[in-house]
Copies of this chain bind each other. A is one copy, B any other.
């Protein structure tokens, strides 16, 4: 029989939905000892929290996250709130001895993240950050191919994350759905939102970044603020580009923006190695492009791998070859791995410390963009 693991989720927005789905679904497809129980959802707006609880089958509702953390019947706190609240909640939850799953990015800054790391490490509570794209099967397969040494020496790593949803200058900033445009709540713009994903994957696949040079841009300088009702200066970066050098000697080329017309969520990365190259694209997330120079010359070409076979990562748990999965499955996989980690004692990654390393790169990017100089990345 499975053991219940009582989850208390803070926040009912997009990520509250994605995580709740993962908890509700994971045991249907993965054979695990633990079974998440949707014990409580917490949000300041009681009515909306109630509605969310009804939809997802949460057993109870809280409107103060401190109360949730105090509850004895909660094993795990899931933080799905804006970035500027992560640290306070996480540190309190750690002190209360709760396991913690925190939305990305971990924190507003590196130093803040370090406090969080220290809190969970001191409390010895299981912890993880929702960099979900590691668990898209095609991305996990990329990791596997790299770990097998198939690529040889790496020369290039390039990634971009392109969106187009903030081009309209009439779009306001701040408040419920638009806190990501408010520097006070989000910390930064695309750097913390989109580049954070690119960097998490990159550090995982290609190791540390040693130094970077970055630039950022805010195309729309002023927007009405939902919280004040006034037109205010926009504090976030609309676009960010950086180049750099990885510790393994390869060159980095990264870009993210919310002003790339035609791209909704085009996260792509490409790695060029001595022997082989890999390319992936979130818009067709179930495919991996793979080029192996060791193939015979006349039939050498980029292979479009439909990552849906039972020997592909995670896919044996779903349907049959040729039938693709989607976005939310990456969250299901992350919960499955987290629960498996509890069973085996080998924690699923990225934990807070791992995610803190990404935070240090984000800090370097923002510093370089401001100083217009190359910046050495601190290794966490």
On A, residues with C-beta under 8 Å from B are 14, 18, 20-21, 24-25, 27-28, 55-56, 141, 144-145, 155-156, 158, 160, 162-165, 167, 213, 215, 217, 219, 239, 241-243, 245, 249, 251, 253, 255, 257, 259-266, 272-277, 282-288, 290-293, 295, 297-306, 308-309, 311-312, 318-329, 372-374
Contacts and interface: CB of A to CB of B under 8 A. Distances in A.
* Across the A-B interface, the 8 shortest Cβ-Cβ residue pairs: A264-B322, A265-B322, A262-B291, A301-B303, A301-B305, A326-B326, A323-B327, A155-B259
A265 B306 CA distance: 11
Contacts of A24: 24-25, 28
A165 B160 CA distance: 25
Task: State the majority secondary structure of interface residues on A.
Answer: mixed
A138 B101 CA distance: 34
Nearest to A56: B28
A369 to B, nearest CB: 10
Chain copies in complex = 4
A311 B297 contact: yes
Contact of A298 (B144, B165, B322): B144
Contacts of A257: 155-156, 251, 272
B290 A301 contact: yes
A145 B156 CA distance: 33
B306 A283 contact: yes
10 contacts: A253-B255, A261-B272, A261-B277, A264-B308, A264-B309, A283-B306, A283-B322, A288-B301, A301-B304, A326-B329
Contacts of A243: 213, 215, 241-243
A48 to B, nearest CB: 14
A167 B274 contact: yes
Given A55-B28, A264-B308, A326-B286, A320 B259 contact: no
Contact of A325 (B292, B320, B326): B326
Given A302-B303, A303-B301, A324 B285 contact: yes
A145, A293, A299 — most chain B CB neighbours (10 Å): A299
Nearest to A273: B261
Given A20-B28, A265-B320, A321-B265, A299 B155 contact: no
Contacts of A286: 284, 324, 326
Nearest to A165: B321
A263 B45 CA distance: 50
A298 B146 CA distance: 13
A298 B323 contact: no
